[in-house]
Structures are given as C-alpha cells and as structure tokens.
Amino acid sequence: MLKAMMALTGLFLCGAALAKDDGRYANSPNKKWFSEQKNEAGMSCCDEADGHIYEGDYKINPDGSVEAEGHKIEAYKVLKTHNPTGKAVWWYIENGYGRTTYCFSPGSLT
C-alpha cells in the first residue's frame, strides 16, 4: 500500500514537472538517459526538465547516501548506474516545503 502511494505521488509530481518541459531538451544526446532513470524504490527521476546539473561539492557517505548543500539524500535515491553527462545530476522540485529530491546521480568526482 505504501509503495503504491509513493508511486502515485511520484506520478503526480512528475506529471506536474513534465509540464515544464518546453521542448528545449528534445535534441539533447542524453534525453533518453534522463527520462529513463529510476531510484531503487522504482520511482521515476522524472525528466531532464527536473534533472539539474550539480557542480557544487557533495559527499558520498559510507551508507551510500549523499550530502550536498546541507541536504542528505537517502541512499535509495542515489543512482548506481553510469552517468553519461560526467557531472552530478540532482533531480528535485522546489515547493513550499523546501526541496523534494527524487534522485541524485554522482558525476566523475574528479
């Protein structure tokens, strides 16, 4: 039941977020990668419109979680797959309650 509610919430929020996709990423070589990513809970990371290239400092903790900008991103939201952009990508939406994170994909860390 909880997993179903999380999936529905993710669909609702991603559906709202997709409305921001104004076509500017239609020819991006990484569009397919951005749109196909899911976290370990099976929730979609949404679309490139919500995937923000992150060039700030971040730390990967021993438990697999990530700390960035004072936010702790749970380990199940940190992607383990190859990131073709070479830079960290943080999928989130800002709302009245703060930042809601869907996924985080580490970059090259170099």
| Mean pLDDT confidence for 47-56 | 80
Element (H, E) at 68: strand 66-68
Specify the pLDDT at position 11: 40
- CA 91 vs. chain centroid, Å, equals 3
Tens-place pLDDT, residues 64-102: 999 999 999 999 999 999 999 889 999 998 888 888 899
Average pLDDT, the chain: 79
The ranges assigned to domains in the chain are 2-19+39-105
* pLDDT band at 27; cut points 50, 70, 90: confident
Please name the residue ranges forming H helices in the chain: 2-18, 31-36
Q: In this predicted model, which residue has the larger pLDDT, 21 or 4? A: 21
